[in-house]
Amino acid sequence: MDATEEISQENAFYDRDGAAKIHNRIQKRQQALAEDAERRKDAKKSQSVGEEKSEYFLRTFNAERAGIQELLTGCSGADRPVVTQKLEEATAKMTQLQKFLNDSVIFLSQYEIRVAQSALQKLQTSLSETREEALPKKKFAFRSRTKAAEVSDCPPPPETAGSGVTKLDGAAVSKQADFSNISDEYLTKTSEELQNRDVLLTHLTNCKVRLYGSPSTLHLKHINACEILCGPVATSVFVDHCSNSILAFPCQQMRTHNTTDTQVYLHVTSRAIIEDCLGVSFAPFCWSYPTLDQDFSASGLDRDRNNWSQVDDFNWLAAGTPSPNWTVIPEEDRKTTWDP
């Protein structure tokens, strides 16, 4: 082979090698373009799915909000039992709507979350205003702190004004059972004093309270360092400004505001709601007294349904992350002995 042929073959080799390199570069470029196109496609699909979820949330949220507002509007001029039923239904729907928002924050924008939360707060204000207007709090008179058996020799009751209201010195007052502005005492109410009544405990400090019976509702306000045990509450328990206390009761629903460092031994057939609370802990209801079974029957509560550990925190929107404002009481730390 002469030099000319050798050079020709060498050139042919380099031509083939160059062509192969060019071909490889083209393939890599095409692959990169295809991968980039796929990424754009996936991003567009993800954005589309997010937009669809957001649109679904807005449609559902607005429809549910309108339904709650319709319930509140229907309270105007309605009879008390109808109003009570509508308000309970509206409260339950509010809880569900808050949970729906909590579960949806993962794909909502911060703006959408703020708008929805603002709408919920306005709806809650409307609910409270409707409750105050349609079911105004009854006036009440302070009553003796003794048991009914200890006042059997009292004079006959004042004349009745109808609908569970009595007249006292010409003024109408409710038959609401209450304790108010008391410190360092052991307080009790009997079943006869509580049955189907609204119970208000307010401004109590370092008291032990035992409520034997089935009241209609239970309101606890400004409670400090107290131990309050109550029989089955037919509807709702409302707790506000409670601190360093132990509470125990069965109920249909529980709403707690502005409460700190408080243990709740709970039987609740819907869900417990907390708002502006810190250091609240929960365990299942375990207090017992001789007529508890009868009081459960009178209340209409389902003894087999207890959602004591399902707590909704209206101040906590992080879906999938537990609220730091409440905990479950460890079994070894739960109170089991209540009375000497």
pLDDT tens by residue, 160-184: 333 334 333 333 334 455 899 999 9
Note the pLDDT of residue 10.
Answer: 56
| pLDDT averaged over every residue in the chain | 79
Q: Looking at the whole model, is its pTM more than 0.85?
A: no
pLDDT band at residue 340, thresholds of 50, 70 and 90?
low
User: Which tokens go with 301?
Assistant: 């509560």
CATH code for the domain in which residue 96 is found? 1.20.58.1250
The torsion region of residue 173 among left (phi > 0), alpha (psi -120 to 50) and beta comes to: beta
**Structural domain containing residue 286:** 158-333
Residue 142 domain flag? no
- CA-closest candidate to residue 221, choices 252, 245, 185: 245
- 340 three-state secondary structure: coil
pLDDT exceeds cutoff 70 at 133: yes
Residues 6 or more apart whose CB falls under 8 angstroms from that of 98 comprise 120, 312, 314
Note the pLDDT of residue 184.
Answer: 93
Q: What does the alpha-carbon distance between residue 335 and residue 340 come to, in Å, rounded to a whole number? A: 13
Position of tokens 């708002």?
275
Mean pLDDT, residues 44-58 taken together: 65
Mean pLDDT, residues 13-40 taken together: 70
Mean pLDDT, residues 308-312 taken together: 90
CATH code for the domain in which residue 178 is found? 2.160.20.70
Based on the fold, state whether residues 253 and 106 are members of the same structural domain.
Answer: no
Check residues 152 and 72 and name the one with the higher pLDDT.
Answer: 72
Based on the fold, state whether residues 130 and 185 are members of the same structural domain.
Answer: no
Note the pLDDT of residue 170.
Answer: 34
- Residue 331 has φ and ψ, to the nearest 5°, of -55, -40
Q: What does the alpha-carbon distance between residue 106 and residue 125 come to, in Å, rounded to a whole number? A: 26
Based on the fold, state whether residues 202 and 102 are members of the same structural domain.
Answer: no
Based on the fold, state whether residues 85 and 177 are members of the same structural domain.
Answer: no
User: Which tokens go with 317?
Assistant: 């929107």
For 144-168, give the DSSP string. Answer: -SS-GGGGTTSPPPPPEEETTEEEE
Based on the fold, state whether residues 123 and 164 are members of the same structural domain.
Answer: no
Burial of 113 (0-12, 13-18, 19+ CB in 10 A): middle
pLDDT exceeds cutoff 60 at 229: yes
Looking at the structure of the chain, the number of domains it has is: 2
Q: What does the alpha-carbon distance between residue 11 and residue 124 come to, in Å, rounded to a whole number? A: 85
